[in-house]
Structure 1
């Protein structure tokens, strides 16, 4: 009797587990079984952008999976990603705990905001960027001024193995920060290095006192961050914001002291002007809520304008040092088009096809935002390439696969800038696509071009022969950063 009862209970449990593991929304794309607590996260592998190759092989370019308890769809086809990301109903951000806790329990800002508030903030930001000269000669001057300062700094280290990431980070932040806050940082400014260090921890979800990487699965397992906040790295993740916000708030407070509503000087002033003129209590620009929105926007710009841009620059010069023949071709083109008597200009770009191709090839090879920033559906999407996406479904755009698909690129594993000369219509989508494409893409591309040309005009970059050959596989994080590598700079004249 007891044996039969135990056997019956076991069968019921197994049946319930099987039902749980195989139960999916109607017409959901095919994918791996759903395990308790983790869903299909273990199927992604580590790093996920490479482990997805197995899922593509087994289930195709659209794969349905549960990440933790969240239903999700992984799109690994360019047209599918474009179709999804241009849809208003796939433009939200999922209510994941890291997205919420950074902004007092709400999805706020340009990166992680959703709904009416995000639309309001994005529309205002794009208008403000235009009024401040994004994509114009004014912004170009800001970049070139920083190129000059960076060249002077690097001249002190000629012939000595150096790590360039930190220097690049300060330079690109200064370019943006002059437009945002009307000032630039000194390269040894302690506030700046606090911001860089802490935003780095946020992007990489790392412990403050070690280089250990906390896997991105914690985004989808909030119960683990509550069960073991210290062990999971969650306490340190929150501590980063505690350190960041007071520094950013000081910039806002200093602007308030000298703010003239009739003569805004920079983005912070334009934002304060908008707050002062807003009397709609439901607006994200109203009163105290408006100031909180400004704080989050500054954080977003610091992360997007610093971490990603400096990572792309660092990767670029690491590849240039690793492929000296490509660097030599870029040197030849810069000497021929720009010469040595003036700085490069965005106007030179149409005549510098190889340098442009080189930059695009670095962006393609690395794809630092491999899985794009997560989207979420706001209602059920029927007949999406033959499947149904349920409401509140997370949508991943697998940009890594788009940029490494042999069907599109032929030999995607090879670093070959010439592919962009052979096919002028080839494009990279590192700034995403659709409704949530990066609003600062034009400035970011100008920065990459001007910094790359401005530094190559002055220096030759070499690998340090005394160090191990650099690893060109990225570190595992939300932004795929390079491993620390030493480069040697040689003056060209």
Structure 2
């Protein structure tokens, strides 16, 4: 019954297991509570990635179950019906974020993703209003993305020969450097479970402090530069906007908010774009249909622009279907129940952490015709027009959904169409297209090679 695939698993079982609570306490008046799950039934590597094993647990325990995760009682919900009830119908009850001890120490309650209450509402309002000035109805962001898409295409063309292989170059090119993230999330999760112990120990968590320190130092230098040459009548970017008197931001908050938006808008886009290229290699007939639509609507004489989206339903359907099937963010960012409530008829007490299995929504067989097959028709009606789907939650839903969604959508469309406008892609001869994943919080493809041919 107890499986340990790693020697450290024994340490976990005999040393860390006593620190976890496995008993669900239920008041006589509280009604039903979710089935409680004994986490030590699984090996340590799986224990360190609840985002992956929650899919297995939902199949075994149902669409709502609970677990004690370190210090916290966590309720995990799956499926479209319960996810919508928790995040939309009961959204105000789960508006707060459960900030992990490690992130609390790093961010100190600042930023968009690691703040709650009045501070979060003020920062969210500021970000939404001012990002609109660079996005919807404006060409500022679009021009920057088009310029960056040119750099990406030039990088492909710099390879010698008509047919060339490029190895996993998308992430560093599109993000102009490597983000302070980690493929192995175990050190962070161990710190969150035992913060009282790790504050006295050295280890990988100190690397996180250091890397985020370097990022924030860079952003502070940019902000100081903006302050020296700020023009109140010419707002160049999000950082300039913070000087509006009514925003009330301090420098520390601005740094973390800028970092939040940078990470939210880049990580999701680069990961999804790599999945898109894999699917185009796997299904060349779908790639040809996208290119036919590009040739018909855009042609070869100009760059793709955002206004083309309305006339390119098949391309939009392919992008959306990739986001649906791959589900790069399996779990919603943890929410904190701010008052006693019920979800699916089950009692959720105040202080409970809520995790929503977004992958289960995107693969819900009651909402999708072929939930486990790549099928762009999911997003096309009988006339071939693009249609929205209510169970499409790749960026979560509700007031705390990802603020980088619109930026990611803009980038995905412009980068994807720019690449397929100028190139055809295929697998390296003799190599199979692999959909194996890597990562814990965000699931991306393992590094791969592609063959690129000028059109």
TM, length-normalised to structure 1: 0.78
Match of 1:141 among 115, 140, 143: 143
Partner of 1:176: none
Pick the structure with more helix per residue: 1
Using the alignment, how far apart are the partners of 1:170 and 1:301 within structure 2? 18
Tell whether the 8 Å contact from 1:135 to 1:442 is kept in structure 2 after alignment. Answer: no
Using the alignment, how far apart are the partners of 1:471 and 1:227 within structure 2? 43
Match of 1:128 among 127, 130, 133: 130
Q: 1:376 Cα deviation (Å)?
A: 1.0
Using the alignment, how far apart are the partners of 1:401 and 1:43 within structure 2? 22
Using the alignment, how far apart are the partners of 1:438 and 1:477 within structure 2? 18
Tell whether the 8 Å contact from 2:261 to 2:403 is kept in structure 1 after alignment. Answer: no
Partner of 1:222: 195
Matched, 1:54 2:56: yes
Q: 1:217 Cα deviation (Å)?
A: 5.8
Partner of 1:99: 103
Partner of 2:115: 113
Q: 1:33 Cα deviation (Å)?
A: 4.2
Matches within 5 A, 1:210-359: 214=187, 216=189, 218-223=191-196, 225-226=198-199, 229-230=202-203, 233-271=204-242, 273-274=243-244, 277=245, 285=249, 290-359=250-319
Q: 1:34 Cα deviation (Å)?
A: 4.7
Partner of 1:72: 74
Cα deviation per residue 1:162-186 (whole Å; 9 max; x = unaligned)? 1244x45543x4xxxxxxxxxxxxx
Cα deviation per residue 1:427-461 (whole Å; 9 max; x = unaligned)? 52111101112223222212211111111010011
Match of 1:370 among 327, 330, 333: 330
Partner of 1:6: none
Matched, 1:393 2:352: yes
- Say if 1:268 and 1:324 are closer, same or farther in 2 by CA, change over 3 A: same
SS of corresponding position for 1:140: helix
Tell whether the 8 Å contact from 1:333 to 1:354 is kept in structure 2 after alignment. Answer: yes
- Which of these two proteins has the greater Rg computed from alpha carbons? 1
Q: Give the RMSD, CA atoms, in angstroms.
A: 2.8
- Say if 1:239 and 1:162 are closer, same or farther in 2 by CA, change over 3 A: same
- Say if 1:291 and 1:41 are closer, same or farther in 2 by CA, change over 3 A: farther
Match of 2:371 among 401, 412, 417: 412
Tell whether the 8 Å contact from 2:336 to 2:352 is kept in structure 1 after alignment. Answer: yes
Cα deviation per residue 1:268-298 (whole Å; 9 max; x = unaligned)? 1111x13xx36xxxx962xxxx100011012
Using the alignment, how far apart are the partners of 1:320 and 1:75 within structure 2? 33
Q: 1:22 Cα deviation (Å)?
A: 3.3
Partner of 1:475: 438
- Say if 1:63 and 1:487 are closer, same or farther in 2 by CA, change over 3 A: same
Using the alignment, how far apart are the partners of 1:151 and 1:82 within structure 2? 40
Cα deviation per residue 1:117-157 (whole Å; 9 max; x = unaligned)? 01100100111111233453333222222222322222112
Using the alignment, how far apart are the partners of 2:42 and 2:70 within structure 1? 7
Using the alignment, how far apart are the partners of 1:412 and 1:221 within structure 2? 38
Q: 1:43 Cα deviation (Å)?
A: 11
TM, length-normalised to structure 2: 0.85
Gaps of at least 5 residues in structure 2 are 1-17
Using the alignment, how far apart are the partners of 2:315 and 2:259 within structure 1? 32
Using the alignment, how far apart are the partners of 1:394 and 1:456 within structure 2? 43
Q: 1:325 Cα deviation (Å)?
A: 1.8
Partner of 1:83: 85
- Say if 1:439 and 1:224 are closer, same or farther in 2 by CA, change over 3 A: same
Matched, 1:448 2:419: no
Partner of 2:5: none
Match of 2:422 among 458, 468, 475: 458
> Alignment length, in residue pairs?
425
Cα deviation per residue 1:372-407 (whole Å; 9 max; x = unaligned)? 2111112222x3321221112111110111112233
